[in-house]
Amino acid sequence: SEVDELGVIYLARNHGWVNPWNPVIASCIRSNYDISWIPTVAKAVCFIYYITNYATKDDVSPYQMLV
């Protein structure tokens, strides 16, 4: 990050915890987004597992089933 002579702060976007962003995509969808490439099979399987669990989750907890 750096500050120019007018006091404008330019943030470095090369930190490992900051996701890269595209100004065209950001302006088209007009919202925050987190899109990243999944280069390994293990991460892809974890992603599929998470999505299927989220999509098929029950609205009723096991405790509520007993009552």
Tell me the per-residue pLDDT of 8-28, one tens digit each, with 9 for 90 and over.
Answer: 888 777 766 666 677 787 788
pLDDT at residue number 66: 66
pLDDT at residue number 15: 67
pTM as predicted:
0.35
d(CA 7, CA 61) in angstroms, rounded, equals: 54
d(CA 37, CA 43) in angstroms, rounded, equals: 10
Q: Give every CB contact of residue 10 below 8 A, 6+ residues apart in sequence.
A: 1, 2, 3, 4
Structural domain range at position 39:
2-66
Residues 24 and 15 sit within 8 Å (Cβ to Cβ): no
Phi, psi of 61 (to 5 degrees): -80, 160
d(CA 35, CA 26) in angstroms, rounded, equals: 11
Number of domains into which the chain is organized: 1
